[in-house]
Amino acid sequence: MLSDVDQKTYEYGMLRALGFKKGHLMTLISLQSFLFSIPGVCCGLVVAVILNMIFRFLIYFLASNSLSFWVTSLAVIVGVVFGIVMPLIAIVLPIQAALGKNLRNSLDLNHRQNNEKTVTS
């Protein structure tokens, strides 16, 4: 999301020039964050359940224990909350940077290219 917001500063400036309000752009960016995070959370939960079953089977087989192989509900809740809240927290500063520029600077491609920092060796 950080690079997505940074790369789309021109696009957001163009949408603002067409009449979008900043609040609507923030809603758009937040929805994009959800579209990135929800598939990630689902895939992460599937991988967590599979790895949990494998490792618990190995541990329980070696320890001769007979507890459940399933992931606890608390672990699922914590994973889902972090998977949704952390991307929202991570995009606050880039959103402020992208929308904090005035409209002229957002649309000035030449000015943006001249301000890029390069490292040469």
Q: Per-residue pLDDT tens for 64-116?
A: 777 677 788 898 899 889 888 888 787 777 777 667 766 666 666 554 444 45
Per-residue pLDDT tens digits for 95-105: 776 677 666 66
Give the SS3 label for residue 51: helix
Predicted pLDDT of residue 113: 46
Give the span between the Cα atoms of 9 and 25, in whole angstroms: 11
- For residue 96, the model assigns a pLDDT of 73
The predicted-structure confidence for 40-67, as pLDDT tens digits, reads as follows 889 999 998 899 888 888 888 788 777 6
Q: Are the beta carbons of 25 and 115 closer than 8 angstroms?
A: no
Angstrom CA distances, 67 to 70, 73, 78, 104, stand at: 9, 15, 21, 63
Q: Specify the pTM.
A: 0.59
Domain residue spans in the chain? 2-102
Average pLDDT of the residues in 25-29:
80
pLDDT band at 117 (very low <50, low <70, confident <90, very high): low
